[in-house]
Amino acid sequence: MQQRFIRNVAIIAHVDHGKTTLVDQLFKHSGMFRENQAVAERLMDSMDLERERGITITAKNGSYRYGDYWINIIDTPGHADFGGQVERVLRMADGALLLVDAQEGPMPQTYFVLKKALANRLPVIVVVNKIDKPAARCEWVVDQVFDLFVKLNAPDEILDFPVVYTSAKQGYALNDPAEAVVDGGSMAPVSEMIVKHIPAPAGSPDMPLQMQVGTIDYSPYLGRLGIGKVVNGTLAINQPVVVARRDGSIRPVRISKIFHFDRDQKIAVDRASTGEIVAIAGMEDVTVGVTFTDPDDPRPLPLIDIDPPTISMD
């Protein structure tokens, strides 16, 4: 996967504002690209196998293809967070989608994660969802979001956030809520905005490997999975690596299985290059924050700060 065609996007939303529906639609529409059909069919075999083995992922993490681009969606917990989970997840992202209900506007749970995203200096795209609702009030919602950014001291360039309007339920996205929906609509404006406003991941393929685990997933078949971004270098199956841990220890490990995401499925791959988000299996003691790195030049990434839980709006 070419680095310049990768986009790693965190999705931030209050519960019920439509995160699951939006991600499903993005995946569904990407599946309709004609050029992808052959690949999709080939993948079906392994996907069916994976389904049987129960390795379908449950979180809203996943990737989809948009033209030449691979868009990785990174789910963020929307609730007040205990133990730095949000920071760790946001480390994998190069930008964020802030999803807001077109009637309700931003809610307290949105505020918490947005604050972290801004602290990480991530560019933010605002997605006003559920514009099909009769009581939708898009302009008011965008004003409310703007006020929230001001309250959070967002820098000027971020205050000028791009906005896209969606009905995830009906499967369309618009750059202007007054536009007519043509031919049943498409989700392309969301993907266009991601490609345009969110940078490709930084990092160098020529540097020694650094892959940091940002989140843990479980699969009945594969066991414990470490999900993270290849920050520098390349990760390949059976390549000698060391794991650098919290206590400063460094230990050689063997990575036997690497998966990338294709929509909501995991697909086994032999290698992953700089900027890719992958899941690694076969290490039952993998924990969040560890770095997989080069035995000849080990470079553990700094651990992720853990903030005390925040529950207030101020």
Annotated binding site for GTP: 16-21, 129-132
Residue closer to ligand GDP (CB basis): 20 or 36: 20
Sequence-ordered list of residues with C-beta below 8 angstroms from that of 173, at least 6 positions apart, any chain: 164, 165, 166, 185, 186, 187, 188, 189, 190
CA dist 202 and 274 (Å) reads 8
User: In this structure, which long-range contacts are made by residues 134-137, counting pairs with CB atoms below 8 Å and at least 24 apart in sequence?
Assistant: 135/103, 136/102, 136/103, 136/177, 137/102, 137/103
In whole angstroms, how close is the CB of 305 to ligand GDP at the nearest point?
27
Q: In 3D, which of 62, 97, 90 has the Cα closest to residue 191?
A: 97
Q: Residue 168 Cβ, how far from ligand GDP at the closest point, in Å?
A: 4
**In whole angstroms, how close is the CB of 182 to ligand GDP at the nearest point?**
17
Nearer to ligand GDP, 133 or 257 (CB): 133
Residue 142: φ, ψ to 5°: -65, -40
Contact between 110 and ligand GDP per CB under 6 A? no
Angle in degrees, 0-180, between the axes of helices 108-119 and 138-151, rounded to the nearest 10: 50
What DSSP state is assigned to residue 16? T
Among residues 3, 5, 16, 273, the one that binds ligand GDP under rule CB under 6 A:
16
Residue choice 3, 5, 20, 307 for contact with ligand GDP (CB under 6 A): 20
Among 1, 6, 8, 19, interactor with ligand GDP by CB under 6 A: 19
- Least Å distance, CB 133 to ligand GDP, is 5
Q: Is 17 one of the binding residues for ligand GDP (CB under 6 A)?
A: yes
Contacts of ligand GDP in 84-103 (CB under 6 A)? none
Handedness of CA 202, 230, 74, 52 (dihedral sign): positive
- Contact between 168 and ligand GDP by CB under 6 A: the answer reads yes
Q: Tell whether residue 61 is a contact of ligand GDP (CB under 6 A).
A: no
Shortest Å, Cβ 103 to ligand GDP: 9
> Residue 57 has which token pair?
């992922």
How long, in residues, is the chain?
Answer: 314
* Degrees, nearest 5: CA angle 274-225-111: 75
CA 121 to chain centroid: 16
Site for ligand GDP contains 21 (CB under 6 A)? yes
* Nearest CB to ligand GDP, comparing residues 135 and 182: 135
Instruction: Determine which residue in the list 8, 167, 212, 291 makes contact with ligand GDP, applying CB under 6 A.
Output: 167
- Residue 164 tokens read as 């896209």
Near ligand GDP by CB under 6 A, which window of 19-27, 67-75, 104-112, 211-219? 19-27
Site for ligand GDP in 116-145 (CB under 6 A): 129-130, 132-133
Give bridge partners of residue 216 from the DSSP assignment: 226
Strands 62-66 and 241-244: unpaired
Residues making up the binding site: 16-21, 129-132
- Of the pair 130, 229, the CB lying nearest ligand GDP is at 130
Only one of the segments 161-169, 178-186, 222-230, 236-244 lies at the binding site for ligand GDP (rule: CB under 6 A); that segment is: 161-169
Q: Which of 276, 264, 273, 278 is nearest to 62 (CA)?
A: 264
For ligand GDP, give the closer residue by CB, 1 or 9.
9
- CA-to-CA dists, residue 5 to 57, 133, 188, 201, angstroms: 24, 35, 16, 9
Residues binding ligand GDP (CB under 6 A)? 13, 15-21, 129-130, 132-133, 167-169
